[in-house]
Structure 1
Amino acid sequence: MGAKKEKMVMDLIVLSLMLFVLGASGWTGEIHGRVVCDICGDSSLGPEDHVLEGAEVAVLCITKSGEVLNYQAFTNAKGIYTVAETMPESDRWDACLSRPISSFHDRCTNLGSGSVGVKFSYNHPSGYSHTVRTFVYKPVDVPSYC
């Protein structure tokens, strides 16, 4: 009889936790983009260009409740950075600014024109993402084959 009662209490606790989790309204969002090195500095991405791994990007977002959130991201081996957040629906992102901070690539450190930052409204429902246009760095010295 004691084991039955203990199982009933455990079942009640599990059911309560499930109802709590399912009843909580949460919002998730994601921002991602890419950083590349424009080897010839011609502002068009070609086969000679490559992604920049380890490039630093800052993402600032203001929430619907007025809070400012500052994120720092680094690009992966594919040159992609990602910022993701889960929060209450009432605090979700409203508008954001994504901007490149630095490239750690030794030969591609000059920020290309037009890559100073991107402001955008974030009006996606929960579970969706926003893709920011590609940020471009140019080499200090353009190779002679360009």
Structure 2
Amino acid sequence: MESKMESKLLAVVVLMAILMAEGVTSWTGEIHGRVVCDVCADSSIGPEDHVLAGAEVAVLCITKSGEVLNYQAFTDSNGIYTVAETMPESERWDACLARPISSFHNHCMHLGDGSTGVKFSYEHPSGYSHAVRPFVYRPVKAPVYCI
């Protein structure tokens, strides 16, 4: 009698054989970026600035077949968000829009100039990633040491 593990393995092997027989090749893409608090609101990243962990970013992509895919990502402790997907090559991303949603940090929650979103074509082959320029939030009022 077959175990459940053997049955699952057999199902995976059969599925892979079907996909390979039909000539379906997979494609993997990745989009990543960083979210930063521009403490002095001087539009440059300096030693007083810091990354924002837990910031929310939305990434919207249109595939080669016209399907719209919407992703939600949160930054890690290094302020980096990542979105990745594996799909058939014929369905791969064509163009994407990344935009900040919220910083969740009371001291730094106003979007900086030019941080409303970034639209780009995704032309990378499978296994490569696209880096989006940093999204910047600013405090309501810059600290005294910035003046």
* In structure 2, C-alpha distance between the alignment counterparts of 1:22 and 1:124, rounded to whole Å: 23
Shift of 1:136: 0.2
Q: Shift in Å at residue 21 of structure 1?
A: 8.0
* Structure 1 counterpart of 2:138, one-letter code: K
1:51-109 CA-partner distances (Å, limit 9, x unpaired): 00000000000000000000000000000000000000000000000000011011000
Distance 1:49 1:21, change over 3 A: farther
CA distance in 1, matches of 2:64, 2:57: 23
- Which is greater in Rg? 1
**2 CA distance for matches of 1:21 and 1:29?**
23
Aligned equivalent of 1:111: 111
Which one-letter code corresponds to 1:49 in the other structure? D
Q: Could you list the runs of 5+ residues in structure 1 that have no partner in the other structure?
A: 1-9
Residue number in structure 2 paired with 1:43: 43
Alignment of 1:8-87 (within 5 A): 17=13, 20=17, 23=20, 24-87=24-87
State the secondary structure of the residue aligned to 1:136.
Answer: strand
Letter in 2 for 1:20: A
Match of 1:95 in 2: 95
Residue aligned with 1:57, SS = strand
TM-score, length-scaled by structure 1? 0.86
Q: Write the distance in 2 (CA, Å) between the matches of 1:49 and 1:138.
A: 10
Could you say what the CA RMSD is over the residues aligned between the two structures, in angstroms?
Answer: 2.0
Q: Partner of 1:6 in structure 2?
A: none
CA distance in 1, matches of 2:76, 2:83: 12
The unaligned stretches of length 5 or more in structure 2 are: 1-5
Deviation at 1:17, TM superposition (A): 2.2
Distance 1:128 1:83 in 2: 12
Question: Structure 1 stretch 21-30 or stretch 52-61: which is displaced more?
Answer: 21-30
